[in-house]
């Protein structure tokens, strides 16, 4: 383990903050006033839809609570959540249905 002084830690935090600011500024500050092409706007619409499954899939397929083994309760809750969100046309109902299903199945097992 590397020992760092308080000054080194703050310098690292400051440099990383400046770096992320410059990366974001390169897109928003320098190119933000220009209109984006239609093809790019079409692709950007799907980024939120792609991020949520990418965050949830590992938690369903390899949950830490079961040591990384697939769990029937979590798989069933994910299927119920998908079906409820598709049927009700809103993700809130999907989340609520999936959460209720998970709690019920974990209580029964």
Count the Cβ atoms, other than its own, within 10 Å of residue 59: 12
Q: What is the reported pLDDT for 84? A: 96
Helices (H), 32-90: 38-44, 47-61, 72-88
Pairwise CA distance, residues 98 & 20, whole Å:
35
How many Cα atoms sit within 13 Å of 109 on the Cβ side? 10
Cβ-count burial of 78 within 10 angstroms (0-12 exposed, 13-18 middle, 19+ buried)?
buried
Residue in the block written with tokens 């999936």 = 98
Residue pLDDT tens, the chain, 109 long: 789 999 999 999 999 999 999 998 887 777 778 888 899 888 888 888 888 888 989 989 999 888 889 999 999 999 999 999 999 998 899 999 999 999 999 999 8
Task: Please tell me the predicted confidence (pLDDT) of residue 14.
Answer: 97
Q: Is 84 exposed, middle or buried (0-12, 13-18, 19+ CB in 10 A)?
A: buried
CA-based Rg of the chain, rounded to a whole angstrom? 21
Query: What is residue 41's predicted lDDT score, i.e. its pLDDT?
Result: 85
pLDDT at residue number 13: 97
**pTM for this predicted structure:** 0.60
- Confidence at residue 45, expressed as pLDDT on a 0 to 100 scale: 86
């Amino acid at each position: 383990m590397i020992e760092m002084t308080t000054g080194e830690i703050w310098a690292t935090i400051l440099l990383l903050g400046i770096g992320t600011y410059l990366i974001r500024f390169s897109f928003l500050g320098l190119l933000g006033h220009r209109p984006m092409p239609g093809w790019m706007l079409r692709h950007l619409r799907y980024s939120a839809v792609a991020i949520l499954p990418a965050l949830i899939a590992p938690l369903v397929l390899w949950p830490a609570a079961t040591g990384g083994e697939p769990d029937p309760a979590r798989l069933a809750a994910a299927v119920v959540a998908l079906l409820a969100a598709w049927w009700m046309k809103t993700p809130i109902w999907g989340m609520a249905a999936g959460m209720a299903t998970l709690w019920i199945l974990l209580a029964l097992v």
